[in-house]
Amino acid sequence: MLTTKQRKFLRSEAHHLQPLFQIGKNGLIDSVIRQIEEALEAKELIKVNILQNCDEDKNEIAAKLDEREGLEVVQVIGNIIVLYKESKEKKRIELP
């Protein structure tokens, strides 16, 4: 569980990032979840874009992702979800 200070730090780190994934009309499917988890292992902090044609609500998608082991939803802003997961091998981000 992230503290308020850590969330604020991660939001500032994510500000300049471009979304790596787009979730469209198929919604959040298993293959996308696997790809997101692989990207998080490599980068630790990513953005996911929820497209207009997505049938699922962005908050529902964020809740599903938040249930994953070790994965944290840092922020949901507009149609963007910011995700963080501490890398096992390539630790880059040092949390305050």
Tens-place pLDDT, residues 23-82: 999 999 999 999 999 999 999 999 999 999 999 999 999 999 999 989 999 999 999 999
* pLDDT band, residue 13 (cuts 50/70/90): very high
* Rg for the chain, CA atoms, rounded: 13
Q: Set out the domains of the chain in order of their start, with CATH numbers.
A: 4-84 (3.30.110.60)
Phi, psi (degrees; rounded to nearest 5) at 8 = -60, -45
C-alpha pair distances (Å), 25 with each of 1, 7, 57, 85 = 30, 29, 11, 26
